[in-house]
Structure 1
Amino acid sequence: MAYWLMKSEPDVYGIDHLQQDGTTLWDGIRNYQARNFMRTMAIGDRAFFYHSNAKPPGVVGLMEVVETGLTDPSQFDPSSKYFDPQSKPEAPRWDCVRLRYVGTFATMLSLDALREQFSVEELPVVRQGNRLSILPVPDASAARLLTLLGPC
Protein backbone atom coordinates (compact mmCIF):
# COMPACT_ATOMS: atom_id res chain seq x y z
CA MET A 1 0.00 0.00 0.00
CA ALA A 2 1.29 3.43 -0.94
CA TYR A 3 0.43 6.73 0.71
CA TRP A 4 -0.40 10.04 -0.94
CA LEU A 5 -1.23 13.59 0.06
CA MET A 6 -4.11 15.10 -1.92
CA LYS A 7 -5.07 18.75 -1.66
CA SER A 8 -8.46 20.37 -1.99
CA GLU A 9 -9.85 23.71 -0.92
CA PRO A 10 -12.34 23.11 1.90
CA ASP A 11 -14.90 25.55 0.48
CA VAL A 12 -14.78 23.76 -2.90
CA TYR A 13 -14.63 20.14 -1.66
CA GLY A 14 -13.56 19.50 1.90
CA ILE A 15 -13.35 16.51 4.20
CA ASP A 16 -16.92 17.19 5.38
CA HIS A 17 -18.17 16.87 1.78
CA LEU A 18 -16.36 13.55 1.40
CA GLN A 19 -17.73 12.29 4.71
CA GLN A 20 -21.26 13.15 3.56
CA ASP A 21 -20.77 11.66 0.07
CA GLY A 22 -18.89 8.54 1.19
CA THR A 23 -16.91 8.42 -2.07
CA THR A 24 -15.87 10.89 -4.73
CA LEU A 25 -14.15 11.14 -8.09
CA TRP A 26 -10.91 13.11 -7.66
CA ASP A 27 -11.40 14.95 -10.93
CA GLY A 28 -10.33 18.30 -12.32
CA ILE A 29 -6.59 17.64 -12.04
CA ARG A 30 -4.90 19.60 -14.81
CA ASN A 31 -1.24 19.12 -14.01
CA TYR A 32 0.59 16.33 -15.84
CA GLN A 33 2.78 15.37 -12.88
CA ALA A 34 -0.21 15.11 -10.53
CA ARG A 35 -2.10 13.15 -13.20
CA ASN A 36 0.84 10.78 -13.55
CA PHE A 37 0.89 10.24 -9.79
CA MET A 38 -2.79 9.26 -9.99
CA ARG A 39 -1.95 6.81 -12.75
CA THR A 40 0.37 4.95 -10.37
CA MET A 41 -2.21 4.67 -7.58
CA ALA A 42 -3.56 1.25 -6.69
CA ILE A 43 -6.76 0.12 -5.03
CA GLY A 44 -6.17 0.14 -1.28
CA ASP A 45 -3.67 2.99 -1.32
CA ARG A 46 -4.34 5.60 1.34
CA ALA A 47 -4.34 9.38 0.91
CA PHE A 48 -4.07 12.14 3.47
CA PHE A 49 -6.76 14.76 2.80
CA TYR A 50 -5.09 18.17 2.92
CA HIS A 51 -7.12 21.39 3.10
CA SER A 52 -5.31 23.95 0.94
CA ASN A 53 -6.04 27.67 0.72
CA ALA A 54 -7.36 27.50 4.26
CA LYS A 55 -6.32 29.31 7.40
CA PRO A 56 -4.35 27.36 8.36
CA PRO A 57 -3.82 24.76 5.64
CA GLY A 58 -3.14 21.23 6.80
CA VAL A 59 -3.92 17.51 6.94
CA VAL A 60 -7.47 16.87 8.13
CA GLY A 61 -8.47 13.35 7.13
CA LEU A 62 -7.76 10.05 5.48
CA MET A 63 -9.11 8.51 2.26
CA GLU A 64 -8.70 5.18 0.48
CA VAL A 65 -8.36 4.60 -3.27
CA VAL A 66 -11.24 2.35 -4.34
CA GLU A 67 -11.12 2.70 -8.13
CA THR A 68 -8.31 3.62 -10.54
CA GLY A 69 -7.81 4.25 -14.24
CA LEU A 70 -10.96 6.31 -14.67
CA THR A 71 -11.37 8.93 -17.37
CA ASP A 72 -12.04 12.37 -15.90
CA PRO A 73 -15.49 13.30 -17.27
CA SER A 74 -15.04 17.03 -16.58
CA GLN A 75 -12.58 17.35 -19.48
CA PHE A 76 -15.44 16.79 -21.97
CA ASP A 77 -18.00 19.08 -20.31
CA PRO A 78 -17.97 22.55 -21.92
CA SER A 79 -19.72 24.01 -18.87
CA SER A 80 -16.99 22.75 -16.51
CA LYS A 81 -14.08 24.97 -15.51
CA TYR A 82 -11.96 21.84 -16.14
CA PHE A 83 -13.11 21.49 -19.76
CA ASP A 84 -10.21 20.70 -22.10
CA PRO A 85 -11.08 21.29 -25.77
CA GLN A 86 -7.88 19.50 -26.82
CA SER A 87 -8.95 16.26 -25.11
CA LYS A 88 -11.00 13.81 -27.15
CA PRO A 89 -13.11 10.86 -25.90
CA GLU A 90 -11.09 8.47 -28.06
CA ALA A 91 -7.82 9.84 -26.60
CA PRO A 92 -8.50 11.46 -23.20
CA ARG A 93 -5.71 13.44 -21.54
CA TRP A 94 -6.98 13.44 -17.98
CA ASP A 95 -7.64 10.62 -15.54
CA CYS A 96 -9.07 10.42 -12.06
CA VAL A 97 -9.51 7.97 -9.21
CA ARG A 98 -12.40 7.26 -6.88
CA LEU A 99 -11.71 7.76 -3.19
CA ARG A 100 -13.58 6.55 -0.12
CA TYR A 101 -13.84 8.44 3.14
CA VAL A 102 -11.90 6.69 5.92
CA GLY A 103 -12.06 9.32 8.64
CA THR A 104 -11.44 12.80 9.97
CA PHE A 105 -8.60 13.34 12.41
CA ALA A 106 -9.49 14.82 15.80
CA THR A 107 -7.11 17.73 15.15
CA MET A 108 -5.64 19.20 12.00
CA LEU A 109 -1.89 18.97 11.46
CA SER A 110 -1.14 22.41 10.03
CA LEU A 111 1.45 23.19 7.39
CA ASP A 112 3.51 25.03 10.03
CA ALA A 113 3.45 21.94 12.26
CA LEU A 114 4.39 19.76 9.27
CA ARG A 115 7.37 22.03 8.57
CA GLU A 116 8.51 21.61 12.18
CA GLN A 117 8.31 17.81 11.95
CA PHE A 118 9.43 16.98 8.39
CA SER A 119 12.14 17.89 5.91
CA VAL A 120 11.37 18.49 2.23
CA GLU A 121 12.80 15.05 1.43
CA GLU A 122 10.51 13.42 3.99
CA LEU A 123 7.35 15.27 2.99
CA PRO A 124 7.41 17.36 -0.22
CA VAL A 125 4.36 19.44 0.77
CA VAL A 126 6.56 21.40 3.20
CA ARG A 127 8.63 22.83 0.31
CA GLN A 128 8.03 26.57 0.05
CA GLY A 129 5.77 27.32 -2.90
CA ASN A 130 4.81 23.68 -3.56
CA ARG A 131 1.65 23.84 -5.64
CA LEU A 132 1.21 20.21 -6.73
CA SER A 133 -2.19 18.92 -5.64
CA ILE A 134 -1.12 15.27 -5.39
CA LEU A 135 2.14 14.16 -3.81
CA PRO A 136 3.56 10.78 -2.81
CA VAL A 137 4.22 10.27 0.90
CA PRO A 138 7.11 7.92 1.74
CA ASP A 139 6.14 5.01 4.02
CA ALA A 140 8.23 6.22 6.95
CA SER A 141 6.69 9.69 6.71
CA ALA A 142 3.19 8.21 6.46
CA ALA A 143 3.80 6.20 9.64
CA ARG A 144 4.99 9.35 11.45
CA LEU A 145 1.99 11.33 10.19
CA LEU A 146 -0.40 8.65 11.41
CA THR A 147 1.33 8.68 14.82
CA LEU A 148 1.17 12.48 15.05
CA LEU A 149 -2.46 12.65 13.93
CA GLY A 150 -3.77 9.74 15.95
CA PRO A 151 -6.80 7.68 14.99
CA CYS A 152 -9.54 9.07 12.80
Structure 2
Amino acid sequence: MRYWLFKSEPSTWSWQDQIDKGEQGEEWDGVRNYQARNFMRQMALGDRGFFYHSQKEKAVVGIVEVCAAAHPDSSTDDDRWDCVDIKAIRSFTQPVTLEQIKADPRLAEMSLVKSSRLSVQPVSLEEWQLVCALGQTDPD
Protein backbone atom coordinates (compact mmCIF):
# COMPACT_ATOMS: atom_id res chain seq x y z
CA MET A 1 0.00 0.00 0.00
CA ARG A 2 1.13 3.53 -0.77
CA TYR A 3 0.11 6.79 0.84
CA TRP A 4 -0.84 10.13 -0.68
CA LEU A 5 -2.18 13.58 0.08
CA PHE A 6 -5.09 15.15 -1.83
CA LYS A 7 -5.51 18.93 -1.50
CA SER A 8 -8.85 20.61 -1.97
CA GLU A 9 -10.22 24.07 -1.46
CA PRO A 10 -13.15 23.52 0.92
CA SER A 11 -15.21 26.16 -0.90
CA THR A 12 -14.97 23.97 -4.04
CA TRP A 13 -14.93 20.43 -2.58
CA SER A 14 -14.94 19.95 1.18
CA TRP A 15 -14.36 16.97 3.44
CA GLN A 16 -18.11 16.93 4.10
CA ASP A 17 -18.74 16.76 0.33
CA GLN A 18 -16.40 13.76 0.20
CA ILE A 19 -18.14 12.06 3.13
CA ASP A 20 -21.52 12.66 1.50
CA LYS A 21 -20.43 10.63 -1.56
CA GLY A 22 -20.36 7.49 0.61
CA GLU A 23 -18.98 4.16 -0.59
CA GLN A 24 -19.13 5.08 -4.27
CA GLY A 25 -16.60 7.87 -3.76
CA GLU A 26 -15.91 10.60 -6.27
CA GLU A 27 -13.52 11.32 -9.11
CA TRP A 28 -10.55 13.44 -8.12
CA ASP A 29 -11.01 15.38 -11.33
CA GLY A 30 -9.82 18.69 -12.65
CA VAL A 31 -6.12 18.16 -11.88
CA ARG A 32 -4.09 19.86 -14.60
CA ASN A 33 -0.56 19.33 -13.38
CA TYR A 34 1.51 16.59 -15.04
CA GLN A 35 3.33 15.57 -11.88
CA ALA A 36 0.07 15.26 -9.89
CA ARG A 37 -1.49 13.32 -12.78
CA ASN A 38 1.50 10.97 -12.87
CA PHE A 39 1.15 10.35 -9.14
CA MET A 40 -2.49 9.37 -9.70
CA ARG A 41 -1.40 6.98 -12.46
CA GLN A 42 0.81 5.24 -9.87
CA MET A 43 -2.04 4.72 -7.40
CA ALA A 44 -3.57 1.32 -6.75
CA LEU A 45 -6.93 0.29 -5.34
CA GLY A 46 -6.79 0.45 -1.56
CA ASP A 47 -4.04 3.07 -1.36
CA ARG A 48 -4.79 5.59 1.38
CA GLY A 49 -4.53 9.35 1.38
CA PHE A 50 -4.89 12.39 3.55
CA PHE A 51 -7.70 14.78 2.64
CA TYR A 52 -6.23 18.25 3.07
CA HIS A 53 -8.21 21.50 3.21
CA SER A 54 -6.19 24.25 1.57
CA GLN A 55 -6.85 28.00 1.60
CA LYS A 56 -7.66 29.31 5.08
CA GLU A 57 -7.84 26.10 7.11
CA LYS A 58 -4.66 24.45 5.79
CA ALA A 59 -5.14 21.17 7.65
CA VAL A 60 -5.36 17.43 7.17
CA VAL A 61 -8.97 16.67 8.05
CA GLY A 62 -9.59 13.10 6.95
CA ILE A 63 -8.44 9.82 5.42
CA VAL A 64 -9.55 8.63 2.00
CA GLU A 65 -9.02 5.44 0.02
CA VAL A 66 -8.48 5.00 -3.70
CA CYS A 67 -11.59 3.14 -4.91
CA ALA A 68 -11.02 3.34 -8.69
CA ALA A 69 -7.65 3.20 -10.44
CA ALA A 70 -6.51 5.90 -12.87
CA HIS A 71 -8.94 6.49 -15.74
CA PRO A 72 -9.76 9.36 -18.12
CA ASP A 73 -10.88 12.50 -16.30
CA SER A 74 -14.57 12.99 -17.16
CA SER A 75 -14.30 16.77 -16.71
CA THR A 76 -12.37 17.14 -19.99
CA ASP A 77 -12.21 15.73 -23.51
CA ASP A 78 -8.42 16.07 -23.44
CA ASP A 79 -7.01 12.54 -23.21
CA ARG A 80 -3.84 13.72 -21.45
CA TRP A 81 -5.69 13.96 -18.13
CA ASP A 82 -6.45 11.02 -15.87
CA CYS A 83 -7.78 10.81 -12.34
CA VAL A 84 -8.63 8.29 -9.63
CA ASP A 85 -11.76 7.95 -7.53
CA ILE A 86 -11.50 8.27 -3.76
CA LYS A 87 -13.89 7.58 -0.90
CA ALA A 88 -13.90 8.89 2.66
CA ILE A 89 -12.71 6.42 5.31
CA ARG A 90 -12.66 8.48 8.51
CA SER A 91 -12.40 12.01 9.81
CA PHE A 92 -9.37 13.07 11.79
CA THR A 93 -10.11 13.18 15.51
CA GLN A 94 -8.08 16.38 15.62
CA PRO A 95 -7.25 18.19 12.34
CA VAL A 96 -3.51 18.55 11.79
CA THR A 97 -2.56 21.99 10.54
CA LEU A 98 0.20 22.89 8.12
CA GLU A 99 1.70 24.92 10.96
CA GLN A 100 1.93 21.79 13.14
CA ILE A 101 3.45 19.79 10.30
CA LYS A 102 6.06 22.49 9.58
CA ALA A 103 6.89 22.73 13.30
CA ASP A 104 7.70 19.01 13.57
CA PRO A 105 11.31 18.38 12.46
CA ARG A 106 10.45 14.73 11.70
CA LEU A 107 8.20 16.03 8.88
CA ALA A 108 10.69 18.50 7.38
CA GLU A 109 11.06 16.44 4.19
CA MET A 110 7.33 15.94 3.65
CA SER A 111 6.16 17.02 0.17
CA LEU A 112 3.53 19.24 1.78
CA VAL A 113 6.36 21.24 3.36
CA LYS A 114 8.69 21.22 0.35
CA SER A 115 6.20 21.35 -2.58
CA SER A 116 3.17 22.89 -0.96
CA ARG A 117 1.48 23.91 -4.23
CA LEU A 118 1.14 20.40 -5.68
CA SER A 119 -2.46 19.16 -5.36
CA VAL A 120 -1.63 15.43 -5.24
CA GLN A 121 1.49 14.32 -3.39
CA PRO A 122 3.15 11.16 -2.12
CA VAL A 123 3.41 10.57 1.63
CA SER A 124 5.92 8.15 3.18
CA LEU A 125 4.82 5.49 5.67
CA GLU A 126 6.66 7.33 8.46
CA GLU A 127 4.97 10.63 7.55
CA TRP A 128 1.62 8.85 7.40
CA GLN A 129 2.06 7.43 10.89
CA LEU A 130 3.34 10.70 12.38
CA VAL A 131 0.52 12.85 10.96
CA CYS A 132 -2.08 10.31 12.11
CA ALA A 133 -0.52 10.34 15.59
CA LEU A 134 -0.60 14.16 15.67
CA GLY A 135 -4.28 13.99 14.72
CA GLN A 136 -5.02 11.26 17.28
CA THR A 137 -6.41 9.20 14.41
CA ASP A 138 -6.04 5.48 13.66
CA PRO A 139 -3.69 5.16 10.65
CA ASP A 140 -5.27 1.89 9.53
TM-score computed with the length of structure 2 as normaliser = 0.91
- What residue in structure 1 maps to residue 70 of structure 2? 69
- What residue in structure 1 maps to residue 126 of structure 2? 140
Helix, strand or coil at the partner of 1:75 = coil
Q: Distance in 1 between matches of 2:108 and 2:35?
A: 18
Q: Distance in 2 between matches of 1:64 and 1:42?
A: 10
Q: Distance in 1 between matches of 2:28 and 2:132?
A: 22
Helix, strand or coil at the partner of 2:65 = strand
Partner letter of residue 136 of structure 2?
A: G
The 8 Å contact of residues 107 and 127 in structure 2, kept in 1 or not, is answered as: no
Q: Distance in 2 between matches of 1:112 and 1:69?
A: 32
Helix, strand or coil at the partner of 1:13 = coil
Which residue among 21, 28, 31 is the counterpart of 1:29?
Answer: 31
Over the aligned positions, Cα root-mean-square deviation in angstroms equals 1.3
Give yes or no for the alignment of 1:43 onto 2:50. Answer: no
Runs of 4+ in 1 over 6 A off after TM superposition: none
Q: How much has 1:119 moved relative to structure 2?
A: 3.8
Helix, strand or coil at the partner of 1:29 = coil
Partner letter of residue 58 of structure 1?
A: A
TM-score computed with the length of structure 1 as normaliser = 0.84
Report 1:2-151 matches (<5 A). 2-22=2-22, 23-54=25-56, 56-76=57-77, 87=78, 92-117=79-104, 118-121=106-109, 123-127=110-114, 130-151=116-137
Indicate the percent of aligned positions where both proteins have the same amino acid: 40
Q: How much has 1:130 moved relative to structure 2?
A: 2.3
Q: Distance in 2 between matches of 1:136 and 1:24?
A: 20
Q: How much has 1:31 moved relative to structure 2?
A: 0.1
Partner letter of residue 100 of structure 1?
A: K
Partner letter of residue 107 of structure 1?
A: Q
Q: Which runs of 5+ in 2 are unaligned?
A: none
Q: Which runs of 5+ in 1 are unaligned?
A: 77-86
Q: Distance in 2 between matches of 1:115 and 1:71?
A: 35
Q: Deviations over 1:13-48 (max 9, x none)?
A: 010001111211000000000000000000010000
